[in-house]
């Protein structure tokens, strides 16, 4: 049933009921009033008749007197003697009088005899019709009681007439009430519908103000209160949404993995980094962390935090990153209804790697310096020993000292260079450089070594690669380092091939020798500082183990790449690409 129908029915039924009840009450009151009036009138008539009859020693023709009186007052008049015998009755013919029963037992007659007057309303024994009687005692007369009676059919007729009128009135009133109730229900339901439409609009996110007024009554007040609440909630929702967006942005941008679990041990929130580190499935949110995580360390930390035990940050390993190192910290979430714990995973793999590189580097530098220093000290002591060595030995010792000193000098020079490159202190000054010029400079510098091993540099440079846009000094150092390695590791009487070509906007230069080559497993590592394929073999050529590391730095300064490979038919080929 619609609200409008309900309002209509409520208003209509209330009005109809009250109208009907008041009509019924009024008509019954009318009936009672009429009866009281009739009783009063009858009593007056009875008293008048009694007055007329009193003090009359004889009443010669009571039948006709009763008839006449009855006609005058338009009511039934009965004369009763002291024995209760009916002497005359306006409604009973003379011949039937003897048959009328004794009236002494009639209640109104009993009352009249006892107190002078009496009334009663009951069905007439004679006519059977509901009748009102008024009896009055007569003084000093053969007629002891005069009784006046009127059948109530008259009253009923009058009351019925009024009831018919009231029914017509009631019918008209009900039609008007129905119209009014309908109008009120349409007005009310219309307002409520507009308020409901506005609420629906708010629910869909459009919180612009409605164009109509809510009104000043109770409905209007309720609507206004709800309106204010909705606006307030909308504002809070907006704030929460923007806070959530900010939080999501922060979490997405974080390198640290963040996982939030609630008191029921279910995942509430994770960021990309955490999903990646813990390899969480896509549907992890809402599931118990024990079902989606495999890392015992993480789970035990979460469990401790959730059970209120103190947890300290600690370094852990993750199943999905066996080579990685992570610091995990779990904090209990206080002051929220749902409680829970936040896990933060910090990836320190790179830090650990850098730390290891630093420690290795320091150890390597110490080691590389200690060897020549020990040699130098040994030979200096030998020179100072008595008896002093002969001239030939002294010369040999001094040559060894000079060689080791040179080695240390080179080492320190290369270390300083790397330090400058690390610190970004070497700037790139690009200019068009003819590769052939650089090559011939290097060849001249290395001519002694080349001659010593009877090696030659042959080069093949394509036309488009003749000039490269690079820093000439740095390109020189790159090629010098590579050619030096090729001389050192290449066999005697061999050729060192240098090729240059251009493709896809980059110049590729290769330096190849016919030496022993670099084992495949060592190829990616030869560019690391101090990495040597075979320490015992490579110590002698006098390298520092830093040459290729410097080469890589210089090439990368040019936005280029460098790689080493094994050469078909034996040997090493180092390729650099400059952009």
Contact footprint for ligand ADP (CB under 6 A): 485-486, 489, 513, 515-516, 518, 526, 531-533, 538, 543-549, 572
CB 502 within 8 A of CB 508: yes
Nearer to ligand ADP, 284 or 483 (CB): 483
Q: Which residue has the CB atom at the shortest distance from ligand ADP? A: 543
Q: Toward ligand ADP, which CB reaches closer, 78 or 455?
A: 455
The three-class DSSP label of residue 484 is helix
- Nearer to ligand ADP among residue 274 and residue 562 (C-beta): 562
What is the rounded distance in angstroms from the CA atom of residue 131 to the CA atom of residue 119? 11
**What does the block give as tokens for 536?**
């015992």
**CA-to-CA distance for 436 and 160, rounded, in angstroms?**
137
CB of residue 434 vs ligand ADP: minimum separation in angstroms?
25
The least distance separating ligand ADP from the CB of residue 564, rounded to whole angstroms, comes to 7
Q: How far is the CB of 472 from ligand ADP (least distance, A)?
A: 21
Beta carbon of residue 525, minimum distance to ligand ADP (angstroms, whole number): 9
Closest CB to ligand ADP among residues 227, 497: 497
To ligand ADP, the closest distance from the beta carbon of 473 in angstroms equals 19
The position carrying tokens 């590389």 is 368
For 274-285, give one letter per residue: b (16+ CB within 10 A) or e: bbebbbbeeebe
Rounded least distance, CB 477 to ligand ADP, Å: 12
**C-beta pairs of 375-384 under 8 Å, 24+ apart in sequence:** 375/400, 375/401, 375/404, 376/401, 376/404, 376/405, 376/408
Nearest approach, Cβ of residue 247 and ligand ADP (Å): 49
Nearest distance from residue 544's CB to ligand ADP, in Å? 5
Q: Closer to ligand ADP at the Cβ: 433 or 549?
A: 549
Tokens, residue 115: 């107190």
Closer residue to ligand ADP (CB): 295 or 477: 477
Query: Helix crossing, 391-422 with 349-384: angle to 10°?
Result: 160
For ligand ADP, the closer CB: 144 or 485: 485
Judged by CB, which is closer to ligand ADP: 289, or 489? 489
Min. distance of Cβ 548 from ligand ADP in angstroms?
Answer: 3
Maximum CA pair distance of the chain? Answer: 204
Least distance in Å: CB of 489 to ligand ADP? Answer: 3
Radius of gyration of the chain (CA): 64
Residue with tokens 């034996």: 570
Would you state the structure tokens that stand for residue 562, as one six-digit string? Answer: 């460098």
Q: Closer CB to ligand ADP, residue 305 or residue 450?
A: 450
Whether the CB-CB separation of 116 and 31 falls below 8 Å is answered with no
Report the residue number, 46 or 549, with the smaller CB distance to ligand ADP.
Answer: 549
Tokens of 437: 């010029």
Report the distance separating Cα 194 and Cα 211, nearest Å: 10
Q: Which residue lies nearer to ligand ADP by CB, 361 or 531?
A: 531
- Of 392, 428, 465, nearest to 555 by C-alpha is 428
Q: Give 70 or 547: the residue with its C-beta nearer to ligand ADP.
A: 547
CB atoms within 10 A of CB 85: 16
Cβ density class 201-215: b for 16+ within 10 Å, e for less? ebeeeebeeeeeebe
Note the Cα 547 to chain centre separation in Å: 59
Q: Is 502 helix (H, G, I), strand (E, B) or coil?
A: strand
Integer Cα distance of 170 and 164 in angstroms: 10
CB of 364 to ligand ADP, least distance (A): 12
Q: How far apart are CA 511 and CA 496, in angstroms?
A: 7
> In the bound complex, what is the minimum distance in angstroms from residue 260's beta carbon to ligand ADP?
49
Q: Which is nearest to 477 in space by CA: 424, 544, 554?
A: 554
């Amino acid at each position: 049933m619609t609200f409008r129908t309900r309002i209509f029915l409520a208003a209509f039924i209330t009005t109809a009921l009250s109208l009907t009840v008041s009509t019924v009450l009024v008509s019954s009151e009318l009936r009672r009033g009429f009866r009281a009036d009739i009783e009063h009138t009858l009593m007056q008539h009875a008293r008048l008749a009694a007055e007329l009859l009193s003090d009359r020693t004889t009443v010669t023709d009571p039948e006709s007197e009763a008839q006449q009186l009855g006609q005058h007052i338009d009511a039934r008049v009965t004369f009763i003697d002291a024995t209760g015998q009916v002497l005359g009755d306006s409604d009973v013919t003379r011949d039937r009088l003897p048959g009328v029963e004794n009236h002494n037992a009639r209640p109104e007659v009993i009352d009249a005899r006892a107190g002078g007057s009496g009334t009663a309303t009951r069905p007439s024994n004679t006519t059977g019709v509901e009748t009102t009687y008024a009896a009055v005692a007569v003084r000093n007369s053969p007629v002891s009681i005069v009784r006046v009676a009127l059948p109530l059919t008259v009253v009923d007729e009058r009351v019925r007439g009024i009831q018919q009128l009231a029914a017509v009135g009631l019918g008209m009133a009900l039609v008007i009430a129905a119209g009014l109730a309908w109008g009120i229900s349409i007005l009310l339901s219309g307002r409520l519908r507009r308020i409901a439409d506005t609420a629906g609009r708010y629910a869909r996110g459009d919180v612009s103000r409605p164009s109509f007024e809510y009104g000043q009554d109770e409905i209007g007040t309720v609507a206004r209160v709800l309106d204010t609440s909705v606006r307030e909630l909308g504002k809070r929702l907006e704030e929460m949404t923007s806070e959530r967006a900010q939080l999501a942005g922060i979490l997405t941008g974080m390198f640290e993995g963040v996982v939030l679990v609630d008191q029921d041990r279910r995942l509430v929130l994770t960021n990309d980094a955490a999903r990646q580190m813990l390899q969480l499935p896509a549907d992890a949110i809402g599931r118990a962390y024990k079902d989606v995580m495999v890392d015992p360390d993480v789970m035990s930390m979460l469990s401790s935090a959730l059970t209120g035990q103190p947890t300290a940050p600690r370094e852990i390993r993750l199943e999905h990153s066996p080579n990685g190192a992570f610091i995990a910290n779990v904090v209990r979430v206080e002051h929220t209804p749902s409680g829970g714990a936040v896990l933060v995973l910090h990836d320190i793999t790179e830090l650990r790697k850098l730390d290891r590189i630093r420690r290795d580097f320091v150890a390597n530098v110490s080691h590389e310096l200690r060897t020549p220093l020990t040699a130098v000290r040994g030979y200096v002591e030998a020179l100072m020993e008595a008896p002093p060595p002969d001239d030939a030995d002294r010369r040999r010792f001094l040559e060894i000292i000079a060689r080791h000193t040179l080695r240390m000098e080179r080492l320190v020079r290369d270390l300083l260079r790397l330090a400058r490159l690390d610190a970004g202190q070497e700037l790139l000054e690009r200019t068009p450089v003819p590769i052939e010029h650089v090559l011939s400079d290097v060849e001249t510098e290395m001519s002694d070594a080349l001659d010593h091993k009877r090696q030659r540099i042959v080069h093949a440079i394509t036309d488009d690669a003749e000039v490269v846009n690079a820093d000439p000094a740095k390109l020189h150092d790159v090629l010098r380092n590579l050619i030096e390695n090729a001389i050192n590791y290449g066999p005697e009487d061999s050729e060192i091939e240098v090729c240059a070509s251009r493709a896809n906007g980059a110049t590729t230069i290769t330096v190849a020798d016919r030496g022993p080559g670099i084992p495949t497993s060592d190829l990616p590592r030869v560019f690391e500082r101090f990495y040597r394929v075979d320490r015992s073999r490579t110590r002698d050529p006098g390298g520092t183990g830093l040459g290729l590391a410097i080469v890589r730095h210089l090439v990368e300064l040019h936005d280029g790449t460098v790689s080493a490979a094994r050469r078909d038919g034996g040997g090493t080929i180092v390729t650099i690409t400059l952009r």
